[in-house]
Structure 1
């Protein structure tokens, strides 16, 4: 009897702590934002939210409405602008499913750190969304472009960034946690992928844009935005961006072209890459050594005279590939030194290798970085030449 009473009391006490979904949110009361853009508007922020129309996305045939809509408001803070959107939107903007955050180029030049505080502080927001910079335009314009294949433009931007990073390389997918880590690090500056509108912005905003075979307005990732502290100071081009991803050990795969002796190119597909960066101090001066190990396959041959069955041919291709990788890295370093910002984390490497030197010189690292000697060693190995041996092009000429 006593045992039954004790169990009953334990049951009731447990119920006090199991209160259920006391702070639940009904889907019918929320406007789910999948994309957000922040621009500068005078001394205020212009915030744009790309919100999903659930009825249109779920409908099989569709009602003819756009799958997303955008809401905009200005405010002295990002939160104020979001709250003011309730005067336009029928529901509260809910950003827990945010996929993309787009920073306007003008805001990036002025400094973006302040607008990131809300995003890192709000308990409703996850931090697994990607952050990019609108190149040559405003963030609001990026979020208004309708995209083919993917109904929701923010999902297209998310998937395209991941795919491009894995297969092409001049792009990097940076989350909020990674960005804040770079902004607060003493030996590394931040860098974000740029996104631009290719074609007509006006046509890209119309539903007709996704009804045409060749869309008149598209979103395209282009270059990497380079920051000094939290301010945009310049852009890396395609070649320099490939060098950046290699130097920061973020290169998963890409295509590189090496020249043939008698004209034409050999397309080399990089399938794996590993980068090791070490910093040291010699005679009171810092130095960085970079070792890159690259594995690749022969993907395309434009020169018929090339005999891929010979070991010497493969060795020559590996040597040319090593030079190509090294050239990309050196081009990226030159641009970063010109802009005066260490986006590669060489300062962190020096900190690890020579902590005493770093403690004395970390305040002047931006100046020291400009004259920093960087030794790059590339070791390339070609693993496969494809399903055929020598190219048939020589026979075609005959």
Structure 2
């Protein structure tokens, strides 16, 4: 019994509690982080949540009182820029809830190898983090921008990416994988500030500009920006890579002076490559099912011949768009589709000699696309309303 009491006393003495704890009110909660490069210096911008503004009574939007503040710092590298920012803050930075990292265009052109090195070493940076390039602007521009649907604008950025693109939350991880793999070009999603937006309410200054998703940015082996591909091209890229199962399509039907909207489902992709000497042929086969949501032609979809006609027009348009997507990547010599991986697997010995100049080889590769989408549903059967009006 005495031994038990002695052990209890010793344990009470050694248990000192949370001696290094920090209260929430002593932390600056970091949700968005941006890096820019100006005149040989790295400029950091942090979007911080003002926790005092979060209450049950407060509604959505920025409100009269902003729910965030931005802080800046600069230095000769990322760490020194963060240290400089600390001199301006009364609280210590807490990055455990950081959702997005933004890179300005000038820094992307200068090269982000040092940025990636710091983020890959720093243990608090999560790989499940979105990382964006700011097209035609700076990270500071985006992080200071109000967003009407979210109290914290950086959360709006995250939700835009999650809503539109597969791979949200993993942009940093995917970039690191592509940068270290053979036969693939690393890419990052792109944001852009759209200015002079038409205002529905002239008193609402938040509508003067907004943030939009603008596709992807491609990088070379030195992790320097080499070009952009738009959002439409990126959607086709995901289909070719087999990353998506549904996509909204709006093909033109020139012969009928109209167009249609198709909800495509169960999308599949098959890629094969062939080598003949130094010539590479990339064969892409796209397939899936489609439901017609909108028919802006004069064709009566109650007739099976007209459905087959639109199906043929749909596949022709998909083949054209896929060709255009690959050709845009070829112009900037960036294999954002990972075709090099297919060559590597099928021709491992040849790949050893092709690997070094693969991007140049990809730029002159022959692309063949075949689309096989089957229209399954046409909605409510019957003649288009414009035909009925003419008859009456």
TM-score range, shorter chain: 0.7 to 0.9
- Give the 3-state SS of the residue equivalent to 2:255 in structure 1: coil
| Distance in structure 2 (CA, Å) of the matches to 1:334 and 1:280 | 18
Deviation (angstroms), 1:193: 2.3
Contact kept? 1:172, 1:245, Cα under 8 Å:
no
The answer to whether structure 1 residue 39 and structure 2 residue 36 are counterparts is: yes
SS in 2 for 1:65: coil
Q: 1:216 aligns with which of 208, 211, 215?
A: 208
What CA distance in whole angstroms lies between the structure 2 residues aligned with 1:114 and 1:322?
A: 44
* Secondary structure of 1:261 counterpart: helix
Give the Cα–Cα distance (whole angstroms) in 1 for the partners of residues 7 and 277 of structure 2.
71
8 Å contact from structure 1 (residues 294, 381) kept in 2: yes
Give matches, 1:268-279, under 5 Å.
268-279=262-273
**Structure 1 CA distance for aligned equivalents of residues 278 and 132 of structure 2:** 39
Matched residue, 2:83: 83
Distance between the aligned counterparts of 1:179 and 1:24, measured in 2?
35
Q: 2:173 aligns with which of 170, 173, 177?
A: 177
Secondary structure of residue in 2 paired with 1:157 = helix
CA shift for structure 1 position 141: 0.4
Cα offset for 1:297? 1.3
Unmatched runs of 5 consecutive residues or more in structure 1 = none
- Given the alignment of the two structures, is residue 227 of structure 1 paired with residue 189 of structure 2, yes or no? no
Checking the alignment, whether the CA contact within 8 Å between 2:127 and 2:170 is kept in structure 1 is: no
Kindly indicate whether the alpha-carbon contact (under 8 Å) linking 2:239 and 2:269 is maintained by their aligned counterparts in 1. Answer: yes
CA spacing shift, 1:381–1:10, aligned 2, 3 Å: farther
SS in 2 for 1:240: helix
After superposition, residues 281-300 of structure 1 pair within 5 angstroms as 281-283=275-277, 285-300=279-294
Q: Give the equivalent residue in structure 2 for 1:136.
A: 136
Cα offset, 1:196, TM superposition: 1.2
Counterpart position of 2:312: 319
Q: Deviations over 1:50-94 (max 9, x none)?
A: 111111123524894211110110111212211221211111121
- Do the aligned partners of 1:265 and 1:302 also contact (CA within 8 Å) in 2? yes
Report the counterpart of residue 262 of structure 1 in structure 2: 256
Measured after TM superposition, the shift of residue 98 of structure 1 is 1.3
User: What SS does the corresponding residue of 1:327 show, helix, strand or coil?
Assistant: helix
Relative to structure 1, the CA distance from residue 19 to residue 227 in structure 2 (aligned partners, 3 Å threshold; closer, same or farther) is farther
2:68 matched residue in structure 1:
68
| Alpha-carbon separation, structure 1, partners of 2:382 and 2:157 | 39
Alpha-carbon separation, structure 2, partners of 1:359 and 1:11: 67
Distance 1:395 1:125, change over 3 A: same
Q: TM-score, normalised by structure 2?
A: 0.87
2:48 — aligned with what?
A: 51
Label 1:368 to 1:392 Cα distance change in 2 as closer, same or farther (>3 A). Answer: same
Q: Distance in 2 between matches of 1:224 and 1:68?
A: 27
Of 105-114 and 281-290, the range deviating more from structure 2: 281-290
- Note closer, same or farther for the CA distance 1:396–1:354 as it changes in structure 2 (3 Å cut): same
Specify the SS of the correspondent of 1:39.
Answer: strand
Deviation at 1:374, TM superposition (A): 2.4
* 1-structure distance, mates of 2:219, 2:84: 31
SS in 1 for 2:185: coil
Q: CA deviation at 1:396?
A: 2.1
Change in CA separation of 1:51 and 1:393 when aligned onto 2, cut-off 3 Å: same
Secondary structure, counterpart of 2:318 in structure 1: helix
Distance, in Å, in 2 between the alignment partners of 1:363 and 1:198 is 39
Seen in structure 2, the aligned counterparts of structure 1 residues 306 and 26 have a Cα distance that, compared at 3 Å, is same
1:265-323 deviation per Cα after TM superposition (whole angstroms, max 9, x unaligned): 111122342222233434564332222123221011122x3121233222222222212
The equivalent of 2:191 in structure 1 is 195
Q: Answer whether contact 2:27 2:92 (CA < 8 A) is retained.
A: yes
Residues in 1 aligned to 2:48 and 2:265: alpha-carbon distance in whole angstroms: 37
**Equivalent-residue separation in structure 2 for 1:20 and 1:290 (angstroms):** 62
Mapped partners of 1:283, 1:23: distance in 2: 66
**Change in CA separation of 1:375 and 1:28 when aligned onto 2, cut-off 3 Å:** same
Tell me the CA shift for residue 190 of structure 1. Answer: 1.7
Contact persistence 1:266–1:301 (CA under 8 A): yes
Instruction: Mark the CA change 1:261 to 1:286 in structure 2 (over 3 Å): closer, same or farther.
Output: closer
Taking structure 1 as the reference length, the TM-score comes to 0.86
Q: Could you say which residue in structure 2 is the equivalent of 1:156?
A: 156
- For the residue of structure 2 that corresponds to 1:114, the secondary structure is helix
Which range moved further: 335-344 or 229-238?
Answer: 229-238
